[in-house]
Structure 1
Amino acid sequence: MWYEIIPSLIVVGLVPVIPQLGAYYLNQYFLGNPMRRDMRDIWDRHMFTRDSRIDGAPWKHRGLENIPDD
């Protein structure tokens, strides 16, 4: 019947999700933040240091309220 496909559907649906959840928790444990940034390009390094300077925490994405009105 049609309900026999449900176990395989769950397995196929969870296979792409498990590595993403694992990466989230591994980065949280080892790096102290859940999102890892790629630092190979100079632009990414500039944005990381900019976020650190403006907000103090580069992995917390906040809006325009943190940018000073100079």
Structure 2
Amino acid sequence: MSKAGDAASSTERPAQQPPAAQRALAEAEARRSKATQASAPPQELGGRGGPDPARYGDWEVKGIASDF
């Protein structure tokens, strides 16, 4: 029979990881920190309100529809 402690020890992370795994974890941590430091794009000043007409096919502004 197996003991309850045997199952818990098999699911734990090993104390020593291969160098490739250590590099991968370090690179992943660097990517995560870089993503959190990225700033939001600047707000558009004086732009059209609502969705982008080129993406949503809405070429009407203030009741005037334009067809290109």
Give the alignment's TM-score, normalised by structure 2: 0.35
Higher relative contact order (CA 8 A, sep 6+): 1
Structure with greater helix share of residues: 1
Structure with greater strand share of residues: 2
Instruction: Give the greater-gyration-radius structure (CA).
Output: 2
Give the alignment's TM-score, normalised by structure 1: 0.35
